Structure 1
Amino acid sequence: MATGPSAAPIIQVFGLEGDQTTRAAIRFFKERRAPISFVDLRKRSIAPGELRRFTERLGARAILNEASRAYLDAGLGYLRMDDAAIIERLLHDPGLVRLPLVRRGNEVTVGRAEPTWTAWVKGSGGP
């Protein structure tokens, strides 16, 4: 729990420990002394409700990493998938998730979103 005059919500970073963009996001928040919680998707998969929070705000396609090796190896570029099928794939294969997924309260981002993160850290809540 954050304390002090700027008791902001804890920022959750979902990603893979060895992923460069995930490490950059964690470093971004640590350098600004923002309280974060990191969830390694290889150790603990994202909960369906948590993934739904991201897909409702950003769309399932925004979270699907079409450049990932997992996407290419599975031949998913040849399939037509609706949002439900994409979400099902994302739940079972963290290699398909565009990283990092970052959440602050009800606000979410995917990928590098430093302007939004800066606004969160400054306390304005959005871009």
Structure 2
Amino acid sequence: MVEEVSIKDLKENTSNFLRNITTYFYVVSVRPRPDPEKWLLEEYYIVTIRDNFGNQTDFVICSSLRTTYQQYVGEKAKFFLQGVHVPEIITPFKRLITNILIAEPVDPEDISLGYYMIKIYLIHNNTITLCSV
């Protein structure tokens, strides 16, 4: 079942979306993620999406998905959202965590309570797209 989801609601009420959701967003752009210090071991791209209400947001993808996402620029695309509660967020050495739409502490005053995270994956040819390793 496909749900209509507002990016604004996702950001303001993240804890209400701790489940799997299939939805549609428009892919606005796919552009290189700058690395001015040349610190990262890989190239990454920033994807901008827009919901039906005009709200926009960005997330990072790996370079292996760039071509697939670019096919949808200017188009409505199907996405799989995975809302989870995680104990911590650990970034791999000289790499970025990809496909995170939202990550926020359960309680900004006490990060030991963990984080609410919504991951986002493009559904292309009825398959969830994942970074190749």
**TM-score (normalizing by structure 1):** 0.30
Which protein is richer in strand relative to its size? 2
Q: Which structure is higher in RCO with an 8 Å CA cutoff and minimum separation 6?
A: 1
**TM-score (normalizing by structure 2):** 0.29
Which protein is richer in helix relative to its size? 1
